[in-house]
Copies of this chain bind each other. A is one copy, B any other.
Amino acid sequence: MGKENKVIGRIPISKVWPEVDGGDFPAKAFDGEVITFGATSFREGHDLIAVELLLTSPKGESQRIRLQEGRLGLDEWTTQILLDQIGTWSFQISAWDDEYHTWLHNAEVKLAASIDEELMMLEGQKLLNRLAENAKGKDKKALTEIATKLVTSGSTPSERLTAALAAGMSEIADRNPLRNLETLSDSRSVLCERRLAGSGAWYEFFPRSEGATRNKDGVVVSGNFKSAQKSLARVSQMGFEVLYLPPIHPIGTSHRKGPNNTLIAGPNDPGSPWAIGNSAGGHDTIHPELGTESDFKSFVKAANKLNIEIAMDLALQAAPDHPWVKTDPQWFTQRADGSIAYAENPPKKYQDIYPVNFDNDPQGIFDEVLRVVNKWVSFGIKIFRVDNPHTKPVDFWQRLIAEVNSKNPEVIFLAEAFTRPAMMHALGKAGFQQSYCYFPWRNRKDELVEYLNELAHLSADFFRPALWVNTPDILTTYLQFGGKPAFKIRATIAATAGAIWGMYSGFELYESVARPGAEENIDSEKYELKVRDWATALKSQDTLIPRVTLLNKIRNENPALQQLRNLVTHYSDDPEVLVYSKHIAAEHNGGKANTVLVVVNTDPHSVRETTVHLNLEALGVKGELKVTDLITGQKFVWGEHNYVRLDSFTEPAHILRVET
């Protein structure tokens, strides 16, 4: 037998939100995020109801907030709340018979039609006296007086009703409701995490490439934490808040991969950082070429000084020479011939990697991973980018994240799972604070409109998308063949359409040559050291550095852009011109509304002229909009329908701040 039927309440509440899987998981939010709370609630007949949100903060403070009815006919009631405490918020919806407003509505209609005039006054008197029983002090006195005046002759019923309303009858009644027939929903929760869990600008570099130099004989000398520390200024000047490092652990030598993922590594090839572990150590060890633990601590400290957090990689796999293979061979799969199974997707072989078999010794593996994570947490690391979490059991992650967050709720896990939607969503529900997503492969207007709406509205309660423009694994054909405009377009959208965006080093230099037939850079940094001439790049006008810097500045100055759920897409007549806006109300932004409207030509090869049609309500304006283009500084006066011309070869986008 399934569970018993739910008993429907006197005032039905058939849906509440935010809610994930009927309350199986808390909805996600971050400190400073504006969340829409709501319910579908209704009643029989014509009488009115009131719907309230009973919201309890992590500290245990409770408040009742009256919801507003939304679109006609849908019986949806909502309010927006800015969550400003980290921890678990809980809420219930309360719905009740709104006897006062039912009476007032009927009285107004009947008086206008000269029906039951004195009777409605009498009903009003009785009702107000009942409200008075519930009220105290001034309100009690006022209600009693108004009640008496409603039935005191000497003026017409209409004049008496007008006088009662002028005396504040509705406000007093609303403060002292009877809440007849009150019905409560089940309780639901919202997990509010720190801001960077849901909003932020990320950069990725390989520390070994930062400061790497090429000797005259062609041999490249690895960078290290000391040299990479000098690059922090560059990252900071561009305005990034998180710097993610690929694994910094010793790299396996057995079956090490050579340049461009070739099977044989030369003596100077550094190997892929994701082939973790050799005789020097494993996941708890720093690669000696990068420096000492103390160098790493200095690096983290220097970053933090620049308001940059360091995100480490957590790749739960081992090179054949990882210490675990000797100390804990039971953590791997033994084949029938006694050998340890390397990674395979038959017939493909990945002999440089031993996958962990989580079912062989779940507790032992859990304890070891927890030890590793806690070690780095003790180094000041509060963010982990998890490599391929979808190749490990989901229940392992749920347990690990819950355990880490129970002691250190500030720790953020980013899921690097480019896989099917069911798994990606499950990882979000399992606790991953954020996730890479399909953004790199959503390039044209229609697919962006659909996907951005999915991210902002359908999956936001459990899946926080990080909009990365590229990674060491991803150089899309759009970037390969779109030229420099493609880079500008993608950075513009990534930085403004979601709440988290990311960029891997080299993007700002328009690195766009792919390994033939692949969707990743040729001579990938995964397998070799990269010597980039940052000094020259920083002086050049021909990089994306100024644009990236500007984008992060715009994000920083416009709180509306730091939210995910407030995205609204608008219409344009052109199949390549994407239009969206983000709005944060004055009450959630220190008394001043912030509204940004972005118009982008998604075709990197053309000039587009078209008309964009705005949903003015979503922009919080009526009629005319004064806007400032935050890219060019130009000012325009816009309305509901607006001509735009976007030339991808010069400037493919408007980022318009609405000034009124």
Contact = CB atoms under 8 A, between A and B. Distances in A.
Interface of A: 1-3, 5-10, 12, 14, 21-26, 40-46, 73-75, 88, 90, 105-106, 109-110, 112-113, 115, 119, 122-123, 125-126, 180-181, 186-189, 335-337, 344-347, 349, 355, 359, 390-395, 398, 402, 420-423, 425-426, 429-430
A29 B73 CA distance: 28
Contacts of A40: 422
Nearest to A24: B6
Contacts of A390: 44-45
Contacts of A12: 394-395, 422-423, 426
Nearest to A355: B45
Contacts of A25: 5-6
Nearest to A119: B337
A5 B402 contact: yes
B42 A423 contact: yes
Summarize A's interface: helix, strand, loop or mixed. Answer: mixed
A459 to B, nearest CB: 13
Contacts of A42: 420, 422-423, 426
B109 A346 contact: yes
Contact of A119 (B181, B336, B394, B395): B336
Contacts of A188: 2
16 contacts: A1-B88, A2-B90, A2-B188, A6-B24, A7-B395, A8-B394, A8-B430, A10-B395, A12-B422, A40-B422, A42-B420, A45-B390, A45-B392, A109-B346, A112-B347, A123-B336
A106 B394 contact: no
A426 B8 CA distance: 9
A249 to B, nearest CB: 22
- Most chain B C-beta atoms within 10 Å of own C-beta, residue among A73, A336, A420: A336
B423 A75 contact: yes
A24 B6 CA distance: 5
B336 A110 contact: no
Nearest to A417: B44
B44 A393 contact: yes
Given A119-B336, A347-B115, A392 B44 contact: yes
A125 to B, nearest CB: 8
A338 B46 CA distance: 22
Contacts of A421: 73-74
Contacts of A344: 106
A239 B112 CA distance: 53
- Most chain B C-beta atoms within 10 Å of own C-beta, residue among A12, A115, A390: A12
A161 to B, nearest CB: 14
Given A5-B25, A44-B390, A14 B426 contact: yes
Contact of A23 (B2, B90, B355, B393): B2
